[in-house]
Structure 1
Amino acid sequence: MVLIRKASLHFGVRYSYNLLPEKLPAVNPPAYFAVHSRFAPGSRIIVEGSILRWRRRFRKDREFSVRDIAGVALGPGNGCNVLYGRDYQILAKFAGSMEHADLMFLWLLQKEVPIVYAPDIWHSPAEASPEPEPVRSSALQQQFILRLKRSARIGFTGIGWFLLLIGVALFLERV
């Protein structure tokens, strides 16, 4: 089984599900963080120290250590990045568009896990050059993310289905 393809980063498939970060964070990742989808519930990877837990919906959790990871294969723009083991079995999958994926890439680099065809500009904060960064404007940009509770998501989904059924009924009435 071959997991590695070079075409993933070099053919301009950048604006889709597996959008890789341009650069990695300048701070070290925390001891505990989770990589999860921004918009839909489902699978997530929880990092606790050197232990990873891949939680998937309707499937058994998979837990493994950083020592079990042989490498990371960066997937195409419409696919996933794959953490694979010594005998090339899939340990976990995650997309570059998932929340905290940049922390996951940085964490993997710091644990010296090889990332196949990683961009040259990715490096760990410890590897950063001592050059000072240019001064930014005094007005800091703030990023806000709207997160809906599960009950709100279910409510909006129900309203959407209700409106769809009304639309179909009106359409069939006119036909």
Structure 2
Amino acid sequence: MINLSNREKNLIIVLISVVILGIFYTFIISPVVEFKKNAEQSFVKNISLLNKFEEINNEYKLVLAEKSRLSSASGMGTGIAGLVDEISKSLNIASNRTSLKEMPGIVQNGLQKITTEIRFEGISIQSALEFINRLENSNMTLKVKNVVINSAIKERSRYDIIITVVSLTKR
């Protein structure tokens, strides 16, 4: 056997220690650190995906609620003529209504867009505003698109009014 001096023995021990530490670092510490780094990146990515999914889910619920509201609120193929008659009679302006024209639009996804033009002659502004308010606050899916007010020929406090309403009905 070879006789080694204390110095050589110490150098061999140091060399073996360095090799063992290198192997330990390469096969144990480095993979653990890499795994931890990848896990953090994956966690952040998954959290952002989860937040995005939650936003999409909330948006879907809103769209679903709006769809069910539209489905329940729209009448089965009827326009707003009945509603206009009811409101104008309650405001005592039914005799002032000169025309009601419904112009059906395209049918899309089972809903039809109907544009209705309502003309009144010789009504007060207060009656017109109350009519529009009741029309908008009804349970039907409609929107007042346009209001034209002209001064009436007969009296100064009376007006000729044209109201354009867009409504949705099931088809």
TM-score if structure 1 supplies the norm length?
Answer: 0.20
Q: Which has the higher helix share?
A: 2
Q: Which has the higher strand share?
A: 2
Larger radius of gyration: 2
TM-score if structure 2 supplies the norm length?
Answer: 0.20
